[in-house]
Amino acid sequence: MRLVGSDSESVAAHYAQRDLEQTILTALTATGIDLNQLRAEDLAPIDEFHIGGRKATLEFSRQLGLDESHQVLDVGCGLGGPSRCLATEFGCQVTGIDLSAEYCRTAQMLGQRLGLDSRVSYQQANALDLPFPDARFDFIWTQHASMNIADKTRLYTEMRRVLKPGGRLAIYDVLAGEGGAVHFPVPWARDPVISHLISPQQLRETLVELDFEILSWQDSTEKGRSWFRRMGAKIKQQGLPRLGIHLLLGADFGLMAQNQVRNLEEDRIALIEAIVRRPVA
């Protein structure tokens, strides 16, 4: 989703949003949701900022064997939807990092409103220089995060460093497809300057070179296409919902969404879900 790279100022500008907390609370109220009875599911239309939404988070996370004993790092946590989902579903402790201080403040506020502040926490941090000691986490979770980072080797080296031996890294990411250059704007970049996609093969080679063990590798591109088709039909019939990702992306959300679908349909981007492990020794 939203990480620090060498062009961090440009990335931060892309995701900048003023009065985000109030915007979300106002939209929730407009949909008839009682803020004093807020549930994690109520936030899913806006805080699961990735293809497939909350359903994709649940399906992927159930492959990991998470439980209340596990410490999890969510790299590129955004508004904290996936981290709160993991904490709610499995009882684990989740720390989220993100480039956007506004996203982190909003994530913390939402966690408090849901009564999850003892199990989730958020901080602004650089994914290329994680502010944690070696072997700190049992799992690392990252969804639609690396697209804004050019230095993939350093990114995954840092993730490996903070994983415990035997710890696992779960990656659900947008990668370069075989159909040619990406059409812009897209949700992670309005132009190619802050878009740094690599192919699935390049990702796999990078992870293997860093001594990760590949446990599972799934091409989810067609699943992503199907999800967008369903969402498009729903929006065409009902219009944009009061609460949704469009509140985060501004006036060009419509074109971003159209290009995202076009890029998927034309094989210009691919979706991969992978689980890899840091060896025990």
Task: State which H helix or E strand residue 101 sits in.
Answer: helix 101-113
Q: Please tell me the distance from the alpha carbon of residue 230 to that of residue 223, in angstroms, as a whole number.
A: 11
What residue type is assigned to position 220 of the chain? S
The predicted structure's pLDDT at residue 2 = 41
What pLDDT does 4 receive?
41
Token look-up 């994914």 returns: 127
Please list the residues that pair with 173 across neighbouring strands.
Answer: 272
Domain ranges (residues) in the chain: 8-277
pLDDT per residue as tens, the chain (281 positions): 444 444 678 887 888 777 899 999 999 999 999 999 999 889 988 898 899 999 999 999 999 999 999 999 999 999 999 999 999 999 999 999 999 999 999 999 999 999 999 999 999 999 999 999 999 999 999 999 999 999 999 999 999 999 999 999 999 999 999 999 999 999 999 999 999 999 999 999 999 999 999 999 999 999 999 988 888 787 778 877 888 888 888 888 889 989 999 999 999 999 999 999 999 97
Domain 8-277 has CATH 3.40.50.150: yes
Q: What is the pLDDT of residue 228?
A: 85
**Non-local CB neighbours of 68 within 8 Å, separated by 6+ positions:** 90, 91, 92
Report strand pairing: 213-219 vs 269-277: antiparallel
Query: Based on C-alpha coordinates, what's the Rg of the chain?
Result: 18
| Per-residue pLDDT at 3 | 44
pLDDT of residue 218: 98
Provide the pLDDT for residue 233: 81
Cβ-count burial of 183 within 10 angstroms (0-12 exposed, 13-18 middle, 19+ buried)? middle
CA distance 72 to 92: 7
